[in-house]
């Protein structure tokens, strides 16, 4: 009993102290990071955490330009090398000073991570010039060096070196099992993790010695709670239990919009939703006219309007506006008459039967989009045998190319057009890893262009090449384009979230102003 009273009074005291003059931010999201170790998984939730507890060399702004973070400026030395000048006087959460050594250490560690290996393949290495200068080298000229530098978060090399209580090295990257970095962090970021319970809560407090004193952010305590159920997440915002939610599901848009206490902020994203057509499984799909007919039969404008409730941008190509490869001349192609004519021309007036698969919990309204597509294809006499699966099962079916048409959404890791093509449309090559998510389209002409664009450092020339790729894919009807998903955030009115949310879905809460 004594213990109980003691515990109660302790909590009372605690709740009072927390209230005093602090700005608390309570966030409800659909997922929480799986670890405190940045390099353990390449996923949205992990990158979000990276921006809260750590800092990259440079980061994307909302307008897709580069903003100096741990690097104050950078200079191209030659075709292969970029020199970064690092910020001085930066401290890690542990108190250790930040130097070039930490950048190199983090870079080298990242290279050993299975999730990042592929992305870092073009890189040769990281070389220390002096304590606050560093050279990053690529194997071949690489136009996306700066884009990739947004992934170079600095970990505290001193903190993560040595052995932990169990005698294991502290720098181990472990997906399953206890590792030091799983539960301990020391970054330079605006927030220090104070409590973490996987799937339950992640609590952070503002880092007192944060280097970015110019940041207007005034959040002192930040609590992230994963809320899986859409209806509950929206209710939590409307009832005032949380201050910020992501994502707001399309069906609740009107409701959040109409409430005076909260606001809805939508940012155009760059994740393209497509269906791929497997030419190796179905002969008819080898005929570009049939593929064109399918693309013409799919009313993606209607899908965005009716199913996505306008929370997406209709697409006719892979990369959205603002990307180097974007070609504004490529317009959505819905035209049922033309689709029927094309089918007739190709000799498939009577149609044929195909199988289709899509996930049902991976993308926004993925199963509904697939169902609508199946109906639309019915109008040109293609009868579709549709199966939707949870993502835990879907990806293995995708790998096995188990259906004639398969849905895939893709977000470019480099925020650049090339990345789409490398994974989605290049001929599948198990050795190079190219075309890893391509189920049955192969065009050597495009492959050549993609590889050439990869090492082209003249940005104008490169953009022309990337646009040419989009044009060929469009003419060839390589895939069925749908839309780019928006990111939709809900927040209380006094949380000024507009400047801190962006198309990458990395809310920069360190800079959030709460009135």
Partner 1 sequence: MFAFIIRRILQAVVVMLVISLMGFAIKNNIGDPVRDLVGERVTPAERAKMADDMGLNDPFLIQYLRFIGHAVKGDLGRSFLYNKPNLEVISQHAPATIELLMGTALIIVLISLPLGVQSALQPKSKLARFTMSFSTLGISMPVFLTAILLIYVFAVHLQILPSFGRGETVDLFGNGYWNTGFLTRDGLEHLILPCLSLSSIMLPLFIRLIRSEMMEVLETEYIKYAWAKGLSPARVWMVHAFKNTLLPVVTVFGVQMGITFAFTILTELVFQWQGMGFMFLEAVQRADISLLIAYLVVVASVFVLVNTVVDIVYGFINPTVRIVGTR
Which of 73, 140, 195, 228 is the binder for partner 1 (CB under 8 A)?
228
Annotate each residue in 120-159 with x if it binds partner 1 (CB under 8 A) or - if it does not, as one string.
----------------------------------------
Q: How far is the CB of 378 from partner 1 (least distance, A)?
A: 30
Which of 64, 238, 346, 451 is the binder for partner 1 (CB under 8 A)?
238
Q: Which residues pair with 178 in a beta bridge?
A: none
Nearer to partner 1 by Cβ, of 157 and 388: the residue is 388
CA gap 283, 478 in Å, rounded:
15
- Show Cβ contacts of residue 367 under 8 Å, excluding neighbours closer than 6 positions: 358, 359, 360, 388
CA gap 402, 439 in Å, rounded:
9
DSSP state of 144: T
DSSP string of 463-503, one letter each residue: HHHHHHHHHHHHHHT-EEEEEEEEEEEEEETTEE-GGG--T
Which of 23, 25, 32, 35 is the binder for partner 1 (CB under 8 A)?
35
Decide: is 235 part of the binding site for partner 1 (CB under 8 A). Answer: yes
DSSP state of 155: P
153 within 8 A of 106, measured Cβ to Cβ: yes
In the region spanning residues 349 to 378, those forming contacts with partner 1, defined by CB under 8 A, are 361
Q: How far is the CB of 117 from partner 1 (least distance, A)?
A: 7
Nearer to partner 1 by Cβ, of 7 and 95: the residue is 7
Nearer to partner 1 by Cβ, of 197 and 328: the residue is 197
DSSP string of 203-253, one letter each residue: EEEE-TT-S-TT------EEEEEE---HHHHHHHHHTTS-SEEEPPPGGGH
Decide: is 390 part of the binding site for partner 1 (CB under 8 A). Answer: yes
Using DSSP's 3-state secondary structure scheme, residue 376 falls into: helix
Q: Can you list the positions of beta strands (E) in 376-492?
A: 382-389, 405-410, 479-492
Q: How far is the CB of 471 from partner 1 (least distance, A)?
A: 27
Nearer to partner 1 by Cβ, of 103 and 236: the residue is 236
Decide: is 178 part of the binding site for partner 1 (CB under 8 A). Answer: yes
Q: How far is the CB of 270 from partner 1 (least distance, A)?
A: 15
Decide: is 231 part of the binding site for partner 1 (CB under 8 A). Answer: yes
Decide: is 513 part of the binding site for partner 1 (CB under 8 A). Answer: no
Q: Which helix (H) or strand (E) holds 66?
A: strand 66-68
480 within 8 A of 315, measured Cβ to Cβ: no
Decide: is 48 part of the binding site for partner 1 (CB under 8 A). Answer: no
Which of 29, 41, 51, 364 is the binder for partner 1 (CB under 8 A)?
41
CA gap 320, 326 in Å, rounded:
6
Decide: is 433 part of the binding site for partner 1 (CB under 8 A). Answer: yes
In the region spanning residues 273 to 292, those forming contacts with partner 1, defined by CB under 8 A, are none
Site for partner 1, rule CB under 8 A: 4, 7-8, 11, 15, 28, 34-35, 41-43, 114-115, 117-119, 175-178, 182, 198-200, 225-229, 231-232, 235-236, 238-241, 361, 390-393, 395-396, 399, 413, 423, 430, 433, 436-437
């Amino acid at each position: 009993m004594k213990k109980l009273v003691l515990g109660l009074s302790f909590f009372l005291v605690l709740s009072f102290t927390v209230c005093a003059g602090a700005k608390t931010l309570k966030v409800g999201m659909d997922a929480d990071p799986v670890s405190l170790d940045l390099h353990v998984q390449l996923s949205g939730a992990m990158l979000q955490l990276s921006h809260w507890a750590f800092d990259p060399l440079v980061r994307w702004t909302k307008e897709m330009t580069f903003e100096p973070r741990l690097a104050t400026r950078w200079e191209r030395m030659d075709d292969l090398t970029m020199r970064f000048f690092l910020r001085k006087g930066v401290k890690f959460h542990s108190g250790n000073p930040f130097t070039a050594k930490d950048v190199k250490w983090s870079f080298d560690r990242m290279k050993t991570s299975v999730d990042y290996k592929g992305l870092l393949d073009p890189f040769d290495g990281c070389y220390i010039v002096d304590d606050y200068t560093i050279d990053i080298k690529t194997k071949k000229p690489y136009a996306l060096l700066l884009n990739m530098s947004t992934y170079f978060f600095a970990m505290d090399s001193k903190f993560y070196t040595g052995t932990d209580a169990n005698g294991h090295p502290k720098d181990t990257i472990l997906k399953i099992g206890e590792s030091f970095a799983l539960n301990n962090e020391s970054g330079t970021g605006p927030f220090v993790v104070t409590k973490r319970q996987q799937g339950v809560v992640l609590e952070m407090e503002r880092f007192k010695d944060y280097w970015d004193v110019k940041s207007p952010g005034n959040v002192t305590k930040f609590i992230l709670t994963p809320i899986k159920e859409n209806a509950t997440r929206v209710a939590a915002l409307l009832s005032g239990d949380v201050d910020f939610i992501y994502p707001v599901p399309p069906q609740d848009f009107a409701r959040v919009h109409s409430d005076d206490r909260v606001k809805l902020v939508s940012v155009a994203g760059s994740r393209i939703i497509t269906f791929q057509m497997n030419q190796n499984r179905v002969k008819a799909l080898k005929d570009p006219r049939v593929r064109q007919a399918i693309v013409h039969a799919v009313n993606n404008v209607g899908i965005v309007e009716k199913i996505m409730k306008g929370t997406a941008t209709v697409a006719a190509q892979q990369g959205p506006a603002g990307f180097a490869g974007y070609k504004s001349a490529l317009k959505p192609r819905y035209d049922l008459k033309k689709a029927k004519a094309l089918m007739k021309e190709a000799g498939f007036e009577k149609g044929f039967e195909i199988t289709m698969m899509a996930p049902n919990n991976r993308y926004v309204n993925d199963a509904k989009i697939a169902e609508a597509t199946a109906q639309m294809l019915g109008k040109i006499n293609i009868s579709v045998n549709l199966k939707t699966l949870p993502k835990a099962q879907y990806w293995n079916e995708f790998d096995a190319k188990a259906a004639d048409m398969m849905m895939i959404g893709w977000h470019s890791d480099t925020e650049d057009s090339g990345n789409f093509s490398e994974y989605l449309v290049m001929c599948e090559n198990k050795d190079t890893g190219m075309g890893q998510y391509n189920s049955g389209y192969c065009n050597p002409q495009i492959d050549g262009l993609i590889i050439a664009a990869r090492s082209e450092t003249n940005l104008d020339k490169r953009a022309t090449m990337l646009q040419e790729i989009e044009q060929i894919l469009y003419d060839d009807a390589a895939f069925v384009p749908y839309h780019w998903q928006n990111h939709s955030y809900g927040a209380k009115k006094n949380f000024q979230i507009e400047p801190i949310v962006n198309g990458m879905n990395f809310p920069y809460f360190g800079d959030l102003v709460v009135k």
